[in-house]
Structure 1
Amino acid sequence: MTEPVKFAYWVPNVSGGLVISNIEQRTSWTPEYNRKLAQIAEQAGFDYALSQIRFTAGYGADNQHESVSFSQDLLAHTEKLNVIAALLPGPWNPALAAKQIATISHLSGGRIAVNVVSGWFRGEFAAIGEHWLDHDERYRRSEEFIRALRGIWTEDSFTFRGDFYRFSDYSLKPKPLDPLPEIFQGGSSRAARDMAARVSDWYFTNGNTPEGLTAQVEDIRAKAAANGHKVKVGINAFAIARDTEAEAKAVLDEIIGKANPDAVQGFAHEVKNAGKASPEGEGNWAKSSFEDLVQYNDGFRSNLIGTPQQIAERIIGLKDAGADLILLGFLHFQEEVEYFGKHVLPLVRQLEAERAREAVAAE
């Protein structure tokens, strides 16, 4: 029997919302707004919240709260929600990250996880004085970062000799609570999938069709099996759930119609260079259109736009394609997360229950 699909939401700890558009967004990046949002999401049935890591302004995001400390605050204001803190190798050393996350694990009853971001924005690295590595080198560094995190968390005397990180008989005490914090990572390139197939617990991919997702899942799971490893898959999606399909599509049209063209094109320039920098030219955003990039992780491509019933059925389609988790963005977060919890999530669970009964009957 398959596990129920899990749900996460993007924490708007960065200003500008989740679309690069001048449309009205009743979403705020403030701590007060986010604390209430976390409580709404927890009540609505969400499993995870994912905080974002940005160091510099741009592309509609003028303000950014730091991800780890912000995640800890959300955990302090919730009881069940798991929070995934984004970490960027370079600014973070794995020794500092391991100690931060271990402490938060104890403070939160084990509800902290991490998302290791390999980096795509060269200008950001230049602005903060961090060395910019080639595409595959960034993933090699991230893999060492993850191996170091896990080693520090599990070994009493951790020794590691990598190209980027070195440890000698290092013992971290206290270690995180069991089970260990889950490790997420993103990316669509071969290097990203290969890394996930070796070391990550979860692999995030940009928005995609079920067919496109299936190809990625088959590749990563075959590689993971060859490595004696298992990895779960999360897919990004931007949800517009409305009482009628026409209402939902009208909102999408307005978002795209009011897109900030200079910001979208600036973002497109940076991310397409990042995508093309992979040896096979297939990194995140390599094939994204202007419309796709208005939601900056291709969330419109997952097509969770319509009535609650339509969206629930499409979520099951993504689950059938291999998604274990749906990572969601919204226009007006508080109201729409609450609506999603009341009107979409119960339909998803109902469809899953029907599938389970049909499977039992077939046996």
Structure 2
Amino acid sequence: MAMAVSTRGSEPIRFAYWVPNVSGGLVISKIPQRTSWDADYNRRLAQIAEAAGFDYALTQIRFTAGYGAEYQHESVAFSHALLAATSRLKVIAALLPGPWNPTLAAKQVATIAELTGGRIAVNIVSGWFSGEFRAIGEPWLDHDERYRRSEEFIRSLKGIWTQDNFSFRGDFYRYADYTLKPKPSAGLPEIFQGGSSRAARDMAARVSDWYFTNGNTPENIRAQVEDVQAKARENGHAVRIGVNAFVIARDTEAEARAVLQEIIDHADPEAVKAFGHEVKNAGKASPEGEGNWAKSSFEDLVQYNDGFKTNLIGTPDQIAERIVALKDVGVDLALLGFLHFQEDVQYFGAHVIPRVRALEAARERRAEAA
């Protein structure tokens, strides 16, 4: 079988990090973490990431406490704070249709784009936690209905940002001769989305700029990439691929594996099982009866988005080689979580990214010679 290749050919793989604007870090574990959800810590982290060579930061959206996340900063406002502290980094603000209306979102993002030279993007989260929707008084739609709403949300954003007298008549959103000014002047804000269900992948293949998938092996990721890209080609659409990973980079593989084991040993069993119950139920609600976490073990679920499965755990050389292997199967961006964010991001920038770039350059030279 032919190997999938990145939709961007020889472009360098890009790097993003999960912004810890939610307490508890990126693992459901009681292991001590030198990571904070507060604003000063995150401003400094954004500056470290920018200097380290990261391209994007992704802010999280949550409205209720759960699974160790007792405190949550709102994503759009927090994104703006990080943009104000940096000069190159692009920040992806998570938006949840239901609490957000496309009209407000389009205006918020257009204004932030104007203030920051176009360094704002959005991640449209269709929703998986029914308890959160009930808590804030939002209707909980059936699985595929949530993705239909998200697609209308994205189509509305794009229409508002590109057209005067925009009109749209959907099942969830309607517009009649609406004109937003100013529109984003530094190019359209990129639109990201996640999910592994048929509805999620089909939506990405129609309307999204980026498709995020949970962590997985290169072989399993390749199957998802080939599926999404084939559908996108049928639609005359282009979409890039991002994959979630949790990075534990240490001087030796033994050190890195010991950290992973310590995270799992200190996992909060009740919280992990509750999280697993909720996300697996969300997947079972899809027509195909399978979602992002359908095959996730207890150990996998300790990291919210199956980041351990991607296996970026080891020495800088091992991790760099695995990142290039992800690129070989069509991944354009690695979305990364860390245990001790500031020092781990700095270490990754100093020791892993240069190795990735060297491997990419060596491949380019071999390709040119061939």
**TM-score, structure 2 normalization:** 0.97
Superposed displacement of residue 100, structure 1? 0.2
Q: 1:243 aligns with which of 239, 251, 256?
A: 251
Q: In structure 2, how many angstroms separate the alpha carbons of the residues matched to 1:281 and 1:301?
A: 21
Residues 1:324 and 2:329 aligned together: no
TM-superposition CA deviations, 1:286-313 (whole Å, max 9, x none) = 1111100000100000000000000000
Residue 115 of structure 1 is matched in structure 2 by 123
Q: In structure 1, how many angstroms separate the alpha carbons of the residues matched to 2:366 and 2:283?
A: 42
Superposed displacement of residue 156, structure 1? 0.7
Residue 271 of structure 2 is matched in structure 1 by 263
Residue 298 of structure 1 is matched in structure 2 by 306
Residue 224 of structure 2 is matched in structure 1 by 216
Q: In structure 2, how many angstroms separate the alpha carbons of the residues matched to 1:219 and 1:16?
A: 34
Q: In structure 2, how many angstroms separate the alpha carbons of the residues matched to 1:88 and 1:22?
A: 28
Residue 36 of structure 1 is matched in structure 2 by 44
Amino acid at match of 2:353: L
Residue 355 of structure 2 is matched in structure 1 by 347
Superposed displacement of residue 282, structure 1? 2.3
TM-superposition CA deviations, 1:92-142 (whole Å, max 9, x none) = 000000000000001111000000000000000000000000000000000
Q: In structure 2, how many angstroms separate the alpha carbons of the residues matched to 1:281 and 1:300?
A: 23
Q: 1:151 aligns with which of 156, 159, 171?
A: 159
Superposed displacement of residue 178, structure 1? 2.6
Aligned residues: 362
Amino acid at match of 2:45: L
TM-superposition CA deviations, 1:174-231 (whole Å, max 9, x none) = 0012311000000011100000000000000000100000000000000000000000
Residue 127 of structure 1 is matched in structure 2 by 135
TM-superposition CA deviations, 1:238-267 (whole Å, max 9, x none) = 000000000000000000010000110110
Q: In structure 2, how many angstroms separate the alpha carbons of the residues matched to 1:282 and 1:98?
A: 32
Residues 1:138 and 2:146 aligned together: yes
Residues 1:225 and 2:225 aligned together: no
Q: Does the aligned pair in 2 maintain the 1:102–1:176 contact within 8 Å?
A: yes
Q: Does the aligned pair in 2 maintain the 1:5–1:325 contact within 8 Å?
A: yes
Q: 1:168 aligns with which of 161, 168, 176?
A: 176
SS for the counterpart of 1:282 is: coil
Residues 1:106 and 2:114 aligned together: yes
Superposed displacement of residue 155, structure 1? 0.1
Residue 365 of structure 2 is matched in structure 1 by 357
Q: In structure 1, how many angstroms separate the alpha carbons of the residues matched to 2:270 and 2:40?
A: 31
Q: Does the aligned pair in 1 maintain the 2:117–2:186 contact within 8 Å?
A: no
Amino acid at match of 1:77: A
Amino acid at match of 2:268: N
Q: Does the aligned pair in 2 maintain the 1:190–1:282 contact within 8 Å?
A: no
Residue 207 of structure 2 is matched in structure 1 by 199
Any gaps of 5 or more consecutive residues in structure 1? Answer: none
Q: 1:17 aligns with which of 25, 33, 41?
A: 25
Q: In structure 2, how many angstroms separate the alpha carbons of the residues matched to 1:60 and 1:316?
A: 33
Q: Does the aligned pair in 2 maintain the 1:148–1:160 contact within 8 Å?
A: yes
Q: In structure 2, how many angstroms separate the alpha carbons of the residues matched to 1:83 and 1:288?
A: 29
Amino acid at match of 2:225: V
**TM-score, structure 1 normalization:** 0.99
- Of stretches 6-15 and 176-185 in structure 1, the one that deviates more from structure 2 is 176-185
Q: In structure 1, how many angstroms separate the alpha carbons of the residues matched to 2:73 and 2:119?
A: 20
Q: In structure 2, how many angstroms separate the alpha carbons of the residues matched to 1:282 and 1:78?
A: 40
Amino acid at match of 1:52: Q
Superposed displacement of residue 284, structure 1? 1.2
Any gaps of 5 or more consecutive residues in structure 2? Answer: 1-8
SS for the counterpart of 1:344 is: helix
Amino acid at match of 1:232: R
Q: Between the two proteins, what is the percent identity of the paired residues?
A: 78
Residue 61 of structure 1 is matched in structure 2 by 69
TM-superposition CA deviations, 1:68-98 (whole Å, max 9, x none) = 0000000000000000000000000000000
State the Cα RMSD in Å: 0.5
Residue 285 of structure 2 is matched in structure 1 by 277
